[in-house]
């Protein structure tokens, strides 16, 4: 059935769903679960391996590997078939997880995370592209909504599962959970995805130079953002050096991709207005979303004096309800064919509600604030399926994998940039106020709530007041990012499929 011409009946769509989604959904669930479930085990990993100061390597190594791998799988999937490359990605992901479970040191664990990341980097982009192979563009919103539900479920279940597994069986059990999930997903892929296109490898020449330059851009860029987040003078100097190296690699990459026969990053596709504008608004949404999730636990702990468990409950509406917005916009897409109209409204509403949260910071009760953050999440979620559908439709079938991978890459980079930007706003606001607030904030990020244990009540109250003002500025920044993304929705040329 041609994906963009035939109009399936409701019964045909249901059959498509039960044939395709169990395989790709499980593959995506494993990849999406990784970050949250491993994050819950990080303290135990640090205690077990005895290298607290380098524990962020576990996260950074995986993030760098997945970001580099995403366009590689996209390009190879276009050439050799996406089902075949999904099986390769699942095998590498399972092997990396198994290596993580037996790693004797932090260095070995970081290397194993790189292997796992090179597998995980293909799971999401290949799965989304496989859906696009068999589902007409107008109906993909329904599937994209279920994808958002997978991410919401992983966000909710990951910390709980990671905490329980670590407490009952040790941190290595977190990684032992992942190979069986990958093997089950591979079995389902073989059984359910037999109709996927085999690809067209004839005359294909992989762009190795582009891959090296892309890695030399991604790794320093993400390391620079990680160092900026630490908010220390020495870290900022390292960040500046990494940023300079990333900028040089990006310039060389641009020159290489212009002359490569089969470029890793097809500039003709990425430069198409509907593609780059949709990707840019996706990066802004991811930055506001992930950045808020990253810093709100600090707000609840430092300003509201809440325990980690209570903070997690208060954060659940923001983490989970994006799936509701995605499902809503996906259904509206299937009924109307309009892509960017619904996220334009949703993101505008999210910006307004986030501004209300910013203005009411320190005065709103926690339940009310949690409810408002849930509404923000619904608004942000309306953009998730629309970006994928728009990029895939604008790119066309021949570059489907590369275009889909570009969304994953820009979301990852947007999340990292957004988190660093909100951290910079927080630190800058505290530093502008003078006093010890900025130093306390850094200590709070590095050591958690115990950093405030030796401070008297009056000093803690003053610090909370300064933190309230700083978070107000950060929330306003997130609101501005959502507002710019809403405006970009109106500037995407492809408004209907």
pLDDT in tens, 108-151: 998 999 899 889 888 888 887 787 777 776 666 666 667 777 77
Position 8 scores a pLDDT of 60
Using an 8 Å Cβ cutoff, are 65 and 117 in contact?
yes
Position 52 scores a pLDDT of 60
6 versus 36: the higher-pLDDT residue is: 36
Question: Do 336 and 436 sit in the same domain of this protein?
Answer: yes
- Distances 119 to 32, 97, 125, 136 between C-alpha atoms, Å: 13, 10, 11, 28
Question: Do 138 and 106 sit in the same domain of this protein?
Answer: yes
Position 429 scores a pLDDT of 83
Question: Do 445 and 322 sit in the same domain of this protein?
Answer: yes
Give 196-231 pLDDT, tens digit per residue. 566 666 667 788 888 898 888 888 887 887 777 666
Question: Do 66 and 96 sit in the same domain of this protein?
Answer: yes
Question: Do 154 and 251 sit in the same domain of this protein?
Answer: no
Is pLDDT at 174 greater than 90 in this prediction?
no
Question: Do 364 and 390 sit in the same domain of this protein?
Answer: yes
Using an 8 Å Cβ cutoff, are 438 and 431 in contact?
yes
Last residue of a domain, one of 178, 198, 218: 198
490 versus 327: the higher-pLDDT residue is: 490
Is pLDDT at 1 greater than 60 in this prediction?
no
Reduced 3-state DSSP string for 367-431: HHHHHHHHHHHHHHHCHHHHHHHHHHHHHCHHHHHHHHHHHHHHHHHHHHHHHHHHHHHHHHHHH
Answer left, alpha or beta for residue 28, where phi above 0 means left and psi between -120 and 50 means alpha: alpha
Rounded CA gap, 124 and 127, in Å? 5
Q: Could you tell me the residue range of the domain that residue 220 belongs to?
A: 210-259
Residue 203 lies in a domain: no
Residue 27 lies in a domain: yes
Position 372 scores a pLDDT of 95
> How many domains does the chain contain in total?
3
Classify residue 289 by burial, with Cβ atoms within 10 Å: 0-12, 13-18, 19+. buried
Confidence tier at 412 by pLDDT (50, 70, 90): confident
Give 253-291 pLDDT, tens digit per residue. 899 988 888 888 878 778 888 999 999 999 999 889 888
Residue 205 lies in a domain: no
3 state SS of 496: strand
Say which range, 147-161, 194-208, 353-367, has the weakest mean pLDDT.
194-208
* Average per-residue pLDDT for the chain: 81
Position 4 scores a pLDDT of 47
Position 194 scores a pLDDT of 66
- The mean per-residue pLDDT over the stretch 358-382 comes to 91
Confidence tier at 48 by pLDDT (50, 70, 90): confident
* Contact residues for 237 (Cβ-Cβ < 8 A; gap 6+): none
Using an 8 Å Cβ cutoff, are 339 and 382 in contact?
no
Answer left, alpha or beta for residue 365, where phi above 0 means left and psi between -120 and 50 means alpha: beta
Using an 8 Å Cβ cutoff, are 138 and 6 in contact?
no
Last residue of a domain, one of 170, 198, 226: 198
Question: Do 221 and 312 sit in the same domain of this protein?
Answer: no
Answer left, alpha or beta for residue 8, where phi above 0 means left and psi between -120 and 50 means alpha: beta
Rounded CA gap, 263 and 209, in Å? 9
Question: Do 142 and 237 sit in the same domain of this protein?
Answer: no
Last residue of a domain, one of 156, 177, 198: 198
Question: Do 228 and 88 sit in the same domain of this protein?
Answer: no
DSSP notation for 259-308: H-SS-SS-HHHHTSHHHHHHHHHHHHHHHHHHHHHHHHHHHHHHTS---H
Question: Do 34 and 86 sit in the same domain of this protein?
Answer: yes
**Could you tell me which of 477, 293, 285 has the C-alpha nearest to residue 382?**
285
Q: Which value, in Å, is the radius of gyration of the alpha carbons in the chain?
A: 22
Angle between helix 341-359 and 383-395 (nearest 10):
140
Question: Do 363 and 497 sit in the same domain of this protein?
Answer: yes
- The mean per-residue pLDDT over the stretch 41-66 comes to 75
**Could you tell me which of 98, 274, 83 has the C-alpha nearest to residue 181?**
98
β-bridge partners, 338: 496
Question: Do 129 and 97 sit in the same domain of this protein?
Answer: yes
3 state SS of 207: coil
* Contact residues for 472 (Cβ-Cβ < 8 A; gap 6+): 358, 359, 361, 362
Percentage of the residues of the chain whose pLDDT score is greater than 90: 20
- The mean per-residue pLDDT over the stretch 437-443 comes to 69
Q: At 94, which CATH number? A: 1.20.1250.20
Confidence tier at 374 by pLDDT (50, 70, 90): very high
Choose from 54-58, 70-74, 97-101, 408-412 the range with maximum mean pLDDT.
97-101
Under DSSP, the state recorded for 491 is T
Residue 187 lies in a domain: yes
479 versus 199: the higher-pLDDT residue is: 479
Is pLDDT at 354 greater than 60 in this prediction?
yes
401 versus 317: the higher-pLDDT residue is: 317
Torsion of the alpha carbons at 314, 166, 70 and 154, rounded to the nearest 10: -40
């Amino acid at each position: 059935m041609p994906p963009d011409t035939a109009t399936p009946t409701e019964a045909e769509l249901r059959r498509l769903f039960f044939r395709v989604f169990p395989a790709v959904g499980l593959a995506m669930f494993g990849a999406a679960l990784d970050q949250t479930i491993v994050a819950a085990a990080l303290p135990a990993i640090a205690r077990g391996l005895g290298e607290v100061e380098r524990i962020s390597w576990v996260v950074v190594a995986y993030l760098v590997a997945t970001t580099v791998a995403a366009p590689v799988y996209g390009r190879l999937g276009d050439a050799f078939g996406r089902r075949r490359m999904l099986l390769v990605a699942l095998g590498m992901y399972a092997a990396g997880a198994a290596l993580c479970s037996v790693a004797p040191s932090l260095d070995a664990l970081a290397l194993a995370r790189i292997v796992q990341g090179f597998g995980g980097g293909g799971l999401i982009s290949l799965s989304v592209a496989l859906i696009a192979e068999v589902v007409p563009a107008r109906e993909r919103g329904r599937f994209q909504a279920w994808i958002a539900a997978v991410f919401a479920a992983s966000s909710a279940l990951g910390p709980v599962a990671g905490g329980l597994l670590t407490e009952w069986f040790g941190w290595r059990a977190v990684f032992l959970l992942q190979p069986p999930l990958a093997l089950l997903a591979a079995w389902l892929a073989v059984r359910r995805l037999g109709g996927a296109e085999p690809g067209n490898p004839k005359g294909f020449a992989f762009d190795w130079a582009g891959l090296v330059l892309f890695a030399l851009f991604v790794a320093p860029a993400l390391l620079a953002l990680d160092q900026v987040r630490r908010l220390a003078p020495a870290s900022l100097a390292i960040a500046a050096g990494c940023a300079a190296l990333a900028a040089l690699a990006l310039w060389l990459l641009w020159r290489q991709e212009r002359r490569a026969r089969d470029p890793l990053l097809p500039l003709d596709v990425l430069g198409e207005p509907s593609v780059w504008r949709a990707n840019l608004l996706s990066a802004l949404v991811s930055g506001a979303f992930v950045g808020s999730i990253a810093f709100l636990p600090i707000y609840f702990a430092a300003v509201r004096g809440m325990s980690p468990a209570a903070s997690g409950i208060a954060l659940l509406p923001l983490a989970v309800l994006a799936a509701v917005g995605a499902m809503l916009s996906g259904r509206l897409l299937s009924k109307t064919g309009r892509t960017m109209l619904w996220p334009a409204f949703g993101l505008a509403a999210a910006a307004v509600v986030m501004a209300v949260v910013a203005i009411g910071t320190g005065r709103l009760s926690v339940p009310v604030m949690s409810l408002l953050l849930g509404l923000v999440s619904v608004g942000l979620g309306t953009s998730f399926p629309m970006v994928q559908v728009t990029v895939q439709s604008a790119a066309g079938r021949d570059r489907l994998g590369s275009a889909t991978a570009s969304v994953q890459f820009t979301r990852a980079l947007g999340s990292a940039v957004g988190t660093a930007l909100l951290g910079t706003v927080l630190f800058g606001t505290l530093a502008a106020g003078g006093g010890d607030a900025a130093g306390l904030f850094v200590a709070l990020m590095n050591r958690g709530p115990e950093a405030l244990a030796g401070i008297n009540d009056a000093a803690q109250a003053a610090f909370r007041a300064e933190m309230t003002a700083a978070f107000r500025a950060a929330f306003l920044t997130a609101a501005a990012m959502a507002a710019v993304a809403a405006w970009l929705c109106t500037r995407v040329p492809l408004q209907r499929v």
